[in-house]
Structure formats: structure tokens, C-alpha cells
Amino acid sequence: MIAPLETFQIEAREHLVNLEAALLELEEQPEESEAIDTAFRAIHTIKGAAGMFGFQQLTDFAHHLETALDKLRQGKLDVSKTFIEIFLDAGDLMAEMLEDTEFSAGQTISSEKLLERLYQIAPEDDPRKSLIQAPEVQGEPASEEAIYRVRFKPDRDSFKNGFDAMPVLRELTSLGTAEVICKHENLPAFNQLEPQASYLSWELLLVTEASKDTLMDAFMFVADEWQIQVDEIDIHDTDEDADKLGELLVARGNVAKQALDEALGEKPAIGSLLKEQGVVQEEEVKAALKEQQLTRKVKAKKQAGKSQATVRVPAEKLDSLMNLVGELVIVQARLNQVSDAVNNDDIEGIAEELELLTTQMRDETFGIRMMPIGSTFGRFRRLVRDLSSELGKSIQLDTQGADTELDKVVLDKLADPLIHLIRNSIDHGIEPTEDRLALGKTPTGNILLSASHADSQVVITIKDDGRGLNKDKIKAKAIEKQLITSKDQLTDEQIHQLIFEPGFSTAAKVSDISGRGVGMDVVKRSIMELGGKLSIDSAVGEGTELTIRLPMTLAIIEGLMVAVGTEYYVLPLNNVEECIELTQSNTHAKTRRRIVELRGQQIPYLSLREWFEVPGDEPPIQQVVITHSGSERFGFCVDEVVGQYQTVIKRLGKLYEGVSGFSGATILGDGSVAMILDPVALIDSVSSSEFGENTTQPIRMQS
Amino acid sequence: MSEQTIAETELAQDEEQSSHVSVQVLTFLLDDEVYGVDIRQIQEVLEYRKVTRVPRSQPFLLGVINLRGKVVPVLDLRRLFDMTLAEITVNTCIVIIDILLDGEKVSIGILTDAVREVVELPVSEISAPPRIGSRVNNRFINGMGKHEGDFIVILDVQKVMADEEFNAMLDVVSDEALADEEGDSSDNSGHD
């Protein structure tokens, strides 16, 4: 179970994300009242929750923000750029504050500075009251007082979970004049008392101007766990005495007679008040009861709906579910093998049915881990906003396909590379406004971030309408950095790809944002680690388009199983083009790469038997599996192509981190393990050992 | 979080207590010598099963096996300790050991010629590893015990894994590849 404090922090962070999104929306559409509401809700919730967990400074800070937002909501303030800026900074500060309850002096100073800025545009009027007279109360005549009967009983584990009754009591009593009765009839004998459990319940009689909703707000964070009841006592019907009320209350089973007597006896003030004003006719109570029943029903419905909407599940649980489904897929493959072998109709039927279910279950499980990519778009918008104002450029970020889904693991690892690429577009791609105008372009630069599904892949593109890549400059730079020689004949794409080389940086000046040349190669590597590909397309003066292709999930791939000697290997099917028989091999080549001819095209191939040093002799007829990576094609020579195989990828672990050429391992139907090949990495490691002089590796292998 | 800390403290207490009394050690044979591993590190003992080799990896990394759906690497201690190699026999066993690797709990198999028994060694009778005369590097030895006339070399697999030289060997492959790459692109110094 996740600790309550952690839950609070997670949720608060989510609220901050919502706040940021709302603010950015507001900046574009200042009239968007829904965005104001979202922002308000986020701050209000954080404020309340922070209070419950003792984040006093955060609560105070949020309170000021809330006040200002409320003014915005009431139209007393206008959305300005400064306003948005202050709030964005405030959001960042709150994220910092969330990390610990002990606030550093630095945080205190920055929060005060921020508030100072805030009050320059939104003068503070009577700071404390504005909260209480929250908008719910607006419009109601101020003099309208009501009496509420508030009863609540914290659940047994309440204290353990970090929810104290005191903050609730404090908030309620601050709303008006209150009489508080603590009920302790559930308290067990001393020797049975669990010190951490909560046995008490409370009853309040509250005279206040606030609405019932405001009262309920006090219970915002415990509404699901605690028994809570808030009733308005009708004070307009006179003529009845307190005794009648007592009877009513007792009859309604809400209060033990004794408790009422206690209340009346010990607290003459409230008793006489009730008497004075008279209380509640039977019909009224019945009506109230009905109303209450109705509201309860509505509330129950609402809550049921709420709990259906989302369930928070720890990521580990999902991982283990995934593993189990993976196991199931493997067992399914085994069953299929067996059923093929025994040739029994009954078993075959079962196997088929099970296969159907397994596939369905697999898809469902994978669906759970899928997250819309739009959840990360928010922070890119912020990035563009901050950087463009820092650089004095005017840039608009458009997004498409926010609902495109990706495995959460992939999504998490994708965020940093995307940030890098967008930064690059802002820093190097888009020109300053004057330059754009001189070129006859729109003054505002445009970056389009889009995501879509294509086959079993997710395609993400980042397209800007900036200056584009300067091929000559790149070439000159690459020669200067000795990445290429001046004699090299490179295609446009090859030239563009040079910017992903380590140590390459085209910007003349090193800026804060990018230009140290450490970014792009890291970006490429991390995308390749995700099994993705990065391609680049650019036209000078028109802009640059970066395309990232990613597999939808990292856990299961369609593979092609091949055999070499007694060993089995799996090639990812989406790399495989075709399989051909090896009729003539070019034995003259000294390198490990050899050439096979396919429809007039010469394709280099690698003999797995040789490279992997598989013992035994070559069979008379060998197969070559032709694979492709981008526009490059190469073959792998194997003894036999076994067939298509759906595989669950298992990590090889730290001990094998140094070995390249494999993306993992999988478990075969008979329970043994087969290695999954990574064709690109394999070819890379072959070519690097060919060109490197010290091929000590194979020598050591023989020892 | 707190649960983990509690577990850790308990473990520490366990260790403390047992260090005053005795250690239970699973003994096994390796090249006719008796070795032992603290049974608290041991997850289970498996009969030898086919190990899938990972081509072009270090020779002492024998390969991987399937342990109930998990892919577990198997170490060949004979190769690691530079002993003569032996055939697989009916007695050959894979001992699965749980260790912490970079704070992550992982299982690792070690290939043994034969597993013997669990013996209880009084801590007082465990001596420090000998300076010389041992075929296994001192760094990997927790101590020497004696049981029924046999010397038992008590190994610390966790130490083997944490050993710098061992890790350097693991990294050799990737470093070479990297060096080659750099050489390939005519040494740029861009790795900052």
C-alpha cells in the first residue's frame, strides 16, 4: 500500500500539472472560465490537503494564490502575462515545497517574493475572510444564519493513515459559533485499547452563515472513509421546545437520549438558543429525512461513479501482471506445440479457445499500461513558452494526436529526448522575429508536435518552420571535427544524420539551452534503446522535420525463430524482409561480412554460425534472413528458419550489459531460453570489430 | 519504505546474533575442494539443466537459464577462478543465490560439481582466509571453516559481484566496442 503522505504528494503533483495546463490555456484564451475553475480547484485541493498533512507554509502560500484566483473568477482581475508568469512560478515553488515539510529559508523568501509580485497586480483585501466567503456563499444574504448538525466518526485507521480530526474541527469551528461534543461510548476497556485506532466520534452544533457545501468541504479528504453527516436544522419554524427536538433526534436514532441531555444540560447556551428560536416540526424533519435520503442516494451514486472512473494502482502490480500474462503466452505456445503433436480434436479445440482468451487478455493487459502521449504535452508547452520568452523569439507550439497511446515505460523514457529535440528547434531552428520578417515568413515561428499510430509503431514528429539544416555548414563542421573526410560522398540524409554524432555541434555560440553538442547523440541513443528510430528531413529556409518511430510496447514482440546448430535465436519480425536460400557464397571475402545477390541487388550478410562460434559443421543448404534497418539491408545466415514466434522479452540483467547484439532473451515452449537478436546492434558490433585493429574478443573467446 | 528499513534492521540483527553463535553453510564441491555459501544467500539448488549461452560474452558467464519465467545468468566458478574445466556429470548442480546488485535484488546461478550438505559452523571456529595457499582470491572469501576433517572455503558471492576487477571484466566488451567506434570516427573527443 502507498503511504497516505505519498498519495498526497502524488496527487498534489498531478494537481500542479493541471494547474499549469490551465494557466497555459488561460494565457491563450483569457476568457476560458473552465480553465480558471480548474486552476482554482487545483490550488484549493492542494491547500486543503497540505493542511491535513502539516505542510503549513504550503497551505498559507496556496491560500494567497487561491484568493487571487478567486478574484479572477469574480472578474475583479484580468488575466495578464504577468499574472500567468507569477502563477507558473508559484506552481514550481509549490512542487518544491511538496518535497519536505521543513521549509528552507530560501523557499520562504521566494514564496514571499512571489506574493509581493502577486500583490502588485492583485492588491490584497482582508486576506483571511476572502477564503471563507468562497464563491459558494456569494449571492446569499450575509445575515442568513443557519444551524447545522454535523456528525462525524473517523474510521478506525484514520489516525494511522495520517488524518487527524483536529484540522477538521478547527476548520468547522472557524466558520461560526460552534458547540462541540466528543462522543466516546465506543471506547473499549483499557486493556483492549489499541492506541493507534480511532474510537471517538464528534457532534457539532454550528451556527454559521456558510453553506452546507462549505461545511462538507472540511471533510474533503476523508469523505470516503469517515462517517459524516451534516444536517441543517430549520430555525424558521417556531413553537416547539427543545424537548420535542430531543424526541425527534432520539426517534431518528441519530443521537442517544443521554447525549442529547448532555448537550442540553452542559451547554445551556446552545440549548437556550435552540429553545429561543424554536426548532423543527415533525413534518419538516420527515421532509428533511427524505431530502437527506435523496442526497445520500445521489452522493452514493456519485461516489460509485467516481470510483469507477479511475483506480490508482502501483506500477509494480502492473508489472507483475504483465509478467504473468507473459508466462501465460508462453504456456499457450507450449500447449499449441503439444496439441499439434498429439493430434487430438478435443485438445485442439481447447487450445484454440485458450489461445483466443490469451490473446484477448494480453491485449487488455497491455491496454492498461498504455498512456496517451498528451499527458506529456503540457510540459512541452511550458518549455516552449519559457524558452521563447527567454530568447526573445515568438513561437507557437501546436500539438496533434494527444490521445495516441504508448506504453507508460516508453513514454517516461521518451520525455527527455523530446525535450531535447524541441529545445533544439527553438534554439537553432526558429529564427528571431526580425529575421523571419526579413525572410517574408510569419513573425511567429511554429513548432508542430504530432503523434500517430502506423502499423504496430508509434510515429512522433517534431516539425518546425525555421531555418532548416545547412548542409554545407554541417559538412564543414564534420570535416573540422574529423567525423568525415572531404572526399566522402554523402547523401543528404547521411549529412543530416551527422548532427547525431557525438561531439557535433553547429551553433557558433554555446548557449544555456543547447549547443554543447552533448544533446543529439544522447537523444539518438536513448531512442534506439527504446527500439526506436530517429530520422531527419530538412530543407534550408523551410524548416526541419524529425521523425521518431517507436514500437508500441517493449514487452512483447513478433519474432522469427531461426536455428544455428543446436541453438535457437529470435529475430524481430518487423526488421525481417524475406528469407532466401543461400546458393552461392562469396568465400573470397576476408571480412565477416559476405555478399548475397538478391534480384540484382548485392546485400551483405553475416554468418551467425561464424560470429557466434557455434560448434559443428554447416548444413549443405543454409538460409539467409534479409533484414532492414531504415534504408539499409543486410542478411543473417542461419541453418534453418523455424517460423514465426510471439515472444515475451526478458531482460538479460546487469551481468550481460556489456554484451551487444541482443535485445534480451525469451523462453521457448520447452522451457529453454533463446536469445533475441538486435540486428542493428549486431551489425554495428561486427563492423566495429572489423575496423578496430584489436579484435581481442574472439581470441579470448577461444580460451 | 519503513517496512524495508525494518526488514533491514532485522537482517542486521540476525547477522549480529548468528555471528555470536554459528553460521549455516551449504557446502559444495569445486575441483575436489569443499566450498560453502551462507544459506541465507541461497534461494535454491537446481539439477543441471541446459544453459543457453550468450555468444561473445565473458567465458566465465556460462549463459542463462529459465527459472520459473525469469532469465537467470549462470556463473562458471571454475573459469572465474582459473581452475581446470570439468565435464557436466549427474552430480552437477546449479545453486541459485540472491544477491544485491546496485541495490537491486537479483538471482544468479553458480555451477558446482556437486552439492553436499548444510553444515552448522560455530563462528569461533571460522578463521580468517589464509594469506597464501588458497586457489581462490582472498577477496572473495569470508573465512575458512572446518567440518569433519574437511576445510571449507566460505565464499562471498556478493563480494565477487561487487569486485572492481570483476566488473571491469564485464565492461571490457562494451568499452572495446566504444573504443572501436571512436577509432572509426577518427577520434573525436566529444564524450563529455
DSSP string, A269-298: HHHHHHHHH----HHHHHHHHHHHHHHHHH
pLDDT at A309: 65
The neighbouring-strand residues paired with A561 are A570, A643
Task: Choose among B1, B71, B104: nearest Cβ to A652.
Answer: B71
* B108 vs B77: CA distance, rounded Å: 12
β B70-76/B104-112 pair status: parallel
A548: left (phi over 0), alpha (psi -120 to 50) or beta: beta
How much of chain A, in percent, has pLDDT values that exceed 70?
Answer: 77
Mean per-residue pLDDT pooled into runs of 10, chain B (192 residues): 48 51 90 91 91 89 87 90 86 92 83 92 85 73 86 85 72 45 37 37
Q: Residue count of chain A, please give it.
A: 703
Disruptive mutation site among B6, B46, B56, B60 for chain A (greatest number of A CBs within 10 Å) = B56
**Nearest by CB to B171, which of A517, A658, A675?**
A658
Residue A634 forms beta bridges with which residues? A627
* Strand extents, DSSP E, A275-391: 370-372
Yes or no, beta carbons of A688 and B106 under 8 Å apart:
no
What three-state secondary structure class fits A671? Answer: coil
Q: Return the bridge partners of A12, or none.
A: none
Residues of B in contact with A674 (CB under 8 A): 52
Q: For A639-698, where are the E strands, in sequence order?
A: 640-648, 662-667, 673-677
Coil, helix or strand for A572? strand
Closest CA to A279 of A317, A239, A311: A239
**Which helix H or strand E contains A550, and what residues bound it?**
strand A543-551
Q: In which element (H, E) is residue A260 found?
A: helix A257-266
The dihedral built from the CA positions of residue A119, A125, A131 and A135, taken in this order, carries a sign that is: negative
Of the segments A171-175, A353-357, A513-517, which one has the largest average pLDDT value?
A353-357
Predicted pLDDT at A675 = 93
User: Are A661 and B56 within 8 A, CB to CB?
Assistant: yes
**Helix/strand/coil for A461:** strand
Q: Give A-chain residues touching B54 at CB under 8 angstroms.
A: 652, 656, 659, 662, 675
Q: Which domains does chain B have, with CATH numbers?
A: 31-181 (2.40.50.180)
For chain B, which residues lie within 8 Å of any Cβ of chain A, measuring from their own Cβ? 1, 50, 52-59, 61, 63-66, 69-71, 73, 101-102, 104, 106, 108, 170-177, 179-181, 183-192
Confidence of residue A505 (pLDDT cuts 50, 70, 90): low
Q: What is the pLDDT of residue B63?
A: 93
Min Cα separation A554/chain B (Å): 16
Among candidates A578, A579, A568, which has minimal Cα distance to A666?
A568
| Nearest residue to A375 (alpha-carbon basis) of A18, A8, A39 | A18
Identity of the residue in A650, A675, A701 whose CB atom sits nearest the CB atom of B59: A701
Q: Is B2 exposed, middle or buried, given 0-12, 13-18 or 19+ CB atoms closer than 10 A?
A: exposed
ipTM surpassing 0.90: no
Query: Smallest Cβ distance to B188: which of A503, A684, A697?
Result: A503
Q: pLDDT at position A651, please?
A: 78
| b/e map A427-437, b = 16+ CB within 10 Å | bbbbbebeebe
- Residue whose grid cell is 563492423: A687
A675 at interface of B, judged by CB pairs closer than 8 A? yes
How many A-B residue pairs are in contact by the CB < 8 A criterion? 135
Q: Give me the mean pLDDT over the A516-543 stretch.
A: 77
When CB atoms are compared, the residue of B50, B56, B108 closest to A659 is B56
Q: What is the pLDDT of residues A633-692, one digit of tens each?
A: 889 999 999 888 777 788 787 788 778 888 888 887 677 899 999 888 888 888 777 654
Looking at residue A264, its pLDDT comes to 53
Q: What are phi and psi of A255, to 5 degrees?
A: -140, 140
Give the model's pLDDT for residue A579. Answer: 92
Find the closest chain A residue to B171 by CA distance. A658
DSSP string, A393-404: --EEEEEE-TT-
Name every chain B residue with its beta carbon within 8 A of the beta carbon of A685: 56, 177
Q: Where are the beta strands (DSSP E) in A337-388?
A: 370-372
Which of B1, B52, B189 is opposite residue A674, by nearest beta carbon? B52
| C-alpha pair distances (Å), A381 with each of A351, A376, A385, A391, A395 | 50, 9, 6, 15, 10
Mean pLDDT score, A614-625? 87
Chain B contact for A592, CB < 8 A? Answer: no
Give B-chain residues touching A667 at CB under 8 angstroms: 66, 69, 71
Q: A497 and A504 in contact (C-beta within 8 Å)?
A: no
CA angle A453, A535, A666 (to 5 degrees): 65
Average pLDDT, chain A: 75
Q: Which three cell numbers stand for residue A388?
A: 521563447
Chain A residue at shortest CA distance from B72:
A652
CA distances from A169 to A131, A204, A312, B65 (A): 17, 9, 29, 61
Sign of CA dihedral B80, B83, B88, B92: negative
Q: What is the pLDDT, as a whole number, of residue B112?
A: 93
Task: Check pLDDT > 60 for residue A19.
Answer: yes
Inter-chain CB proximity A667 and B190 less than 8 Å? no
pLDDT at residue A109 above 50? yes
Give the pLDDT confidence of A26-46 residue by residue, as tens digits: 887 777 777 888 888 888 888
pLDDT tens digit sequence for A554-609: 667 778 999 999 899 999 887 899 998 887 554 445 555 578 888 888 888 888 99
Tell me if A502 and B191 make a contact (CB, 8 A cut-off).
yes
CB contact under 8 A, B183 and A691: yes
Q: What is the DSSP letter of A425?
A: I
The pLDDT-based confidence of A58 (bands split at 50, 70, 90) is: confident
Beta bridge pairs of residue A397: A447
DSSP state for residue A328 in the 8-state scheme: H
Provide the pLDDT for residue A380.
85
Please report the pLDDT score of residue B129 as a whole number: 80
Q: Which residue of A has its CA nearest to B172?
A: A658
pLDDT (0 to 100) of residue A456: 61
Could you give the CA distance from residue A333 to residue A320 in angstroms, rounded to a whole number?
20
pLDDT at residue A560, as a whole number: 92
* Domains defined for chain A, CATH in brackets: 4-131 (1.20.120.160), 136-309 (3.30.70.1110), 315-371 (1.10.287), 373-551 (3.30.565.10), 556-702 (2.30.30.40)
> Which residues of B fall within a CB distance of 8 Å from A499?
none
Q: What is the pLDDT of residue A293?
A: 57
Which of the two residues, A238 and A235, has the higher pLDDT score? A235
Contacts of B57 in chain A (CB under 8 A): 656, 658-659
- Residues in A closer than 8 angstroms to B185, CB to CB, are 482-483, 501-502
Mean pLDDT over residues A358-367, rounded? 83
CB A205 within 8 A of CB A147: yes
Q: What is the pLDDT of residue A260?
A: 52
User: Which chain B residues touch A703 with a CB distance below 8 Å?
Assistant: 59
Contact status of A487 with chain B (Cβ, < 8 Å): no
Mean pLDDT of A174-187: 76
Q: How far apart are the first and last CA of chain B?
A: 36
pLDDT digits (tens, 9 = 90+) for A443-453: 888 899 998 87
DSSP class of residue B131 equals: S
Interior angle at CA B20, CA B14 and CA B26, nearest 5? 70
Answer whether B55 sits within 8 Å of A611, measured CB to CB: yes
- CB–CB of A657 and B52 under 8 A? no
Going by C-alpha positions, the residue among A236, A48, A228, A234 that lies closest to residue A150 is A228
Closest CA to A465 of A423, A426, A509: A426
Quick one: CA dihedral A487, A488, A490, A496, positive or negative? negative
- Note the pLDDT of residue A597: 80
